[in-house]
Amino acid sequence: MKNVILIAPPAAGKGTLSDSLCKEYGYISLSTGDMLREKAKNDSELLEMIKTGKLIDDKTVFDAFALRLNEIGDSSYILDGFPRTVKQARMYDEMLSKLNRDLGVVIYLDVEEDELLSRVTSRIVCPKCKRSYSTRNKSLLPKIEGLCDTCGESLVKRSDDVAEVFDHRYKEYLEKTKPLIDYYKSKGVLYTIVSTSVDETFNLVSEIIK
Ligand SMILES: [Zn+2]
């Protein structure tokens, strides 16, 4: 399996896709937050930075990243929410070439703004396992109305799943992510997925990563 960098606007179904890929193909999902927390176990300075919410510099992030890559060995992995900037993307390229590892593919979930907004406003989540459902999308309806399929908890609406918060996040996303998409497009590793359902997205991505 090829390594995957996932790029998607808020509410495009990144989490759902990532979970399916891990379950179906044995991918490991890597987030910089987890890597930093892991490294902080033996690094009191870093622990303090995380605790106080200080902005963590790229070098520290990449140190934690290299450590984690070393741990997972040859397993294929998914990067969700990283790199965030073109600068980080370049640093990531350098790190990969030093470690003699392959970038794999960059998968961009391209979803219309109207559709995203509709997903956000119809989203309900399980407070226990964080799995998300929809009150509108048939493929994401819980089996029993209002209850989590996995743990039976009552599903809730998140307070930030409203139009105003979405608009702000979407604008921020466009500003920050567009250059990253262009960067990976120019390297010839970008695959754009335009899809209407969770299953279709999964099938299209499955073809790309094999
Ligand atoms: Zn649950």
Instruction: Characterise 176 by phi-psi region: left (phi > 0), alpha (psi -120 to 50), beta (else).
Output: alpha
Strand order in the sheet with 77-80: 28-30, 77-80, 4-7, 105-109, 190-193
Residue 196 has pLDDT above 80, yes or no: no
pTM of the model: 0.82
Q: What is the pLDDT of residues 153-187, one digit of tens each?
A: 999 999 889 999 999 999 989 898 889 999 999 99
pLDDT at 151: 96
Instruction: Write down the pLDDT at residue 125.
Output: 94
Residue from 70, 137, 78 nearest 98 by CA: 70
Question: Residue 20: which pLDDT band, with cuts at 50, 70 and 90?
Answer: very high
CA-CA distance, 123 to 206, in Å (whole number)?
A: 25
**Distance from the CA of 53 to the center of ligand 1, in angstroms?**
28
* Tokens encoding 159: 């307070």
pLDDT tier for residue 34 given thresholds of 50, 70 and 90: confident
CA of 3 to the centre of ligand 1 (A): 28
Judged against a pLDDT cut of 80, whether residue 208 lies above it is answered with: yes
Largest CA distance in the chain: 51
For residue range 64-112, list pLDDT tens digits in order.
Answer: 999 889 889 889 999 988 998 899 999 999 999 998 999 999 999 999 9
Q: Return the SS3 of 108.
A: strand
* 143 Cα–ligand 1 center, Å: 12
Q: Please tell me the distance between residue 4's alpha carbon and the centre of ligand 1 in angstroms.
A: 26
